[in-house]
Each structure stands twice: as C-alpha cells, then as structure tokens.
Amino acid sequence: MNNTAQELQIACIEDVPPLEETPPHRPAPMPMQTLAYWTPRAIFRAMLRRAIEAVELRTVRRAAISVTHADEQG
C-alpha cells in the first residue's frame, strides 16, 4: 500500500475497513485457560480422593513370591 492510498484511507477513516500495515499474519493458537475453584464440594472430593488413596496404600495384598532355594543347596 503506497502512501497515497494510506492518506486516502485516513481522509475517510470511518468508511473504510481498518488500515493495516503489518507483517504477514502467522496465526497461532492462544487457548483459553480453565480454572477450577476450591468450592466446598471440590474440597470434599479432594479429601475423599486422598482418603481412598491412603486406604489403598495400607491394604495388604496376598502376593506369591517364588523362592529358588538356591542358597540351601550349597
């Protein structure tokens, strides 16, 4: 766009699309962030989840462990 064209746009600025004199666009996303809040319900859920995790950690599970008895032979 030459200077004359720009001057023309300025002269009748309200009747023309916005003047842009910029490098070529390189569109890239800027995603909207999501936020979760500490509501009473969220606090209760978090506590429940922690409690379940703690119980799971304490659970004793039967485990089958193979023993070779290699040390007894010698």
Instruction: Catalog residues that contact another protein under the rule CB under 8 A.
Output: 3, 6-7, 9-11, 13-14, 18-23, 25-39, 42
DSSP helix/strand/coil, 41: helix
Minimum Å gap between C-beta 68 and another protein is 46
- Helix or strand or coil: residue 31? coil
Closest distance of CB 54 from another protein, Å: 20
CA 27, CA 29: separation in Å to the nearest integer? 7
Residues in the chain, total = 74
Give min distance, CB of 31 to another protein, in A.
Answer: 5
